[in-house]
Amino acid sequence: MPTKATWKLSCPFDSIDAAFNWNNTEYPVEHTHAHWEILLVTSGRILHTINDKQKILSKGDAWLVRPEDKHKLTYVDRNEHKDYQSITFIFTNELFSKISSAYMPYSIHDADAKLSFSVDSEMIDYTIERCLSAQMQPTDKYRTISIILINKLYLIFLEKEMNNISSYPDWLNDFISYLSSPYRFSESMHELARQTPYSYSRLTTLFKSYTGKSLLQYVNELKLTYAQKLLRTTNKQIIEISNEIFYDSVSSFNHNFKKKFGQTPSEYRKNQYQKEHIKHK
């Protein structure tokens, strides 16, 4: 019989309905909650066992945990446990009802509801920065920042669900969601295929029949779109971005970027800078 984590035990304050906790260790005791949680892994890996199913969560992976869900967190590998860090946002049933009522209807309590999602590195950095800031604020401002972050994460979750409402089978929706995280860019096509019920050769056939694109083409477009974002939002050098999306060479990156967007990475960044300069003149 799982234990039940009460609000009083979980929340650092008695008088508010939203908060967060920093975690850097496993929680191997199976338990449920008197409230809702959003677990966001910010570093390392952890094995999440929820309702008797297991999934390894790594940096950028998140999970919406309902009060009725029984779950626990255990190390994947004792040798790498020092790398694990996460933030758990907690919020009451009443607050979740208010938040969720503002958005589209979604069968959140269905037994087969998919409650995992992923965020990018920019959102992780923003979340950590805002949480650090919140700790220095009075309780009312701490609460406000917590609610803002919960809303942002919940919207990312809902956006994933909107994208999944399609004619694709469940396994393909799950796979596309998996591919969307930049942290998967280092994986080979064969490693990615292991996330599906199919062999690599069968997967490539099915993937193209559903999406109209080869798996390699699809992943490459994800990489280039992410590179475009980095060029627009960071000061990283072209070679750094090329390495970050795991291109074999800068020349190959330049060639493929120009083929997709009609300009080289350097030209794209220069044009974006000029647009921003004109806009703020």
Q: 98 vs 38, which has greater pLDDT? A: 38
Q: 254 vs 10, which has greater pLDDT? A: 254
Per-residue confidence band for 133, with pLDDT thresholds at 50, 70 and 90: very high
Per-residue confidence band for 238, with pLDDT thresholds at 50, 70 and 90: very high
As a whole number, mean pLDDT of residues 235-264 equals 93
Q: Domain extents for the chain?
A: 3-164, 170-279
Q: What whole-number percentage of the chain has pLDDT above 90? A: 60
Q: 113 vs 253, which has greater pLDDT? A: 253
pLDDT value at 240 more than 90: yes
pLDDT at 211: 83
CATH class assigned to 3-164: mainly beta
Which candidate, 97, 98, 99, 110, places its Cα nearest to that of 68? Answer: 110
Contact between residue 54 and residue 80 where contact means Cβ atoms under 8 Å apart: no
pLDDT at 205: 94
Q: What whole-number percentage of the chain has pLDDT above 70? A: 89
For the domain bounded by 170-279, which CATH number is listed?
1.10.10.60
For the chain, the average pLDDT equals: 88
At 81-111, the pLDDT tens digits run: 778 999 999 999 889 888 887 665 455 655 5
